[in-house]
Amino acid sequence: MDKFTIRDFSKYRMENAKEALQSAELLYKHDDYVGAINRAYYSIFYAIKAVLALEKTDFKSHKEVVGYFNQNYVNKEIFPKTMGRKIAQAKKTREDSDYDDEYVPTSEKTEVQIQTAKELIELVEKYLKDKTVE
């Protein structure tokens, strides 16, 4: 892929991230916390994949995507270390919500998930904008 195509692919992934965030917010307004938690996490996941698209890197599993992002972007402080912890918590919250029959999502937990997605999207958009200037 040439740079134009790579940037388009990254932009496409960011559009997916924003759409998932909008879905999360809508589901939250209708008290569907399980759905909102899921969509907010996928917003985070797609935003991370938008960053990885610029270096033509992808993985099959969520664990690998998040692990690579943490190792190559959070640990190197391209993104704040606090964001790495928030992403890990968001991943755990989504897994608990989707797979643990005894997990009870709350409005507060759902709000945190959505806020993490918003924060990461802002950081990724700034990162991507800075990358297009180079």
The confidence score (pLDDT) of residue 4 equals: 60
Q: Please return the burial class of 31, using the count of CB atoms within 10 Å of its CB with bins 0-12, 13-18 and 19+.
A: exposed
**43 vs 121: CA distance, rounded Å:** 8
pTM above threshold 0.75: yes
- Residue 92 belongs to domain spanning: 3-133
CATH number reported for the structural domain that contains residue 118 in this entry: 1.20.120.330
- Which letter, b or e, does each residue of 14-23 get, where b requires 16 or more Cβ atoms within 10 Å of its Cβ? bebbbebbeb
pLDDT in single tens digits along all 134 residues of the chain:
445 688 899 999 999 999 999 999 999 999 999 999 999 999 999 999 999 999 999 998 999 999 999 999 999 999 999 999 999 999 999 999 999 999 999 999 999 999 999 999 999 999 999 886 54
> Which pLDDT belongs to residue 5?
83
In contact, 34 and 66? CB cutoff 8 Å: no
Query: What domain count does the chain have?
Result: 1
Q: Residue 131: what pLDDT?
A: 80
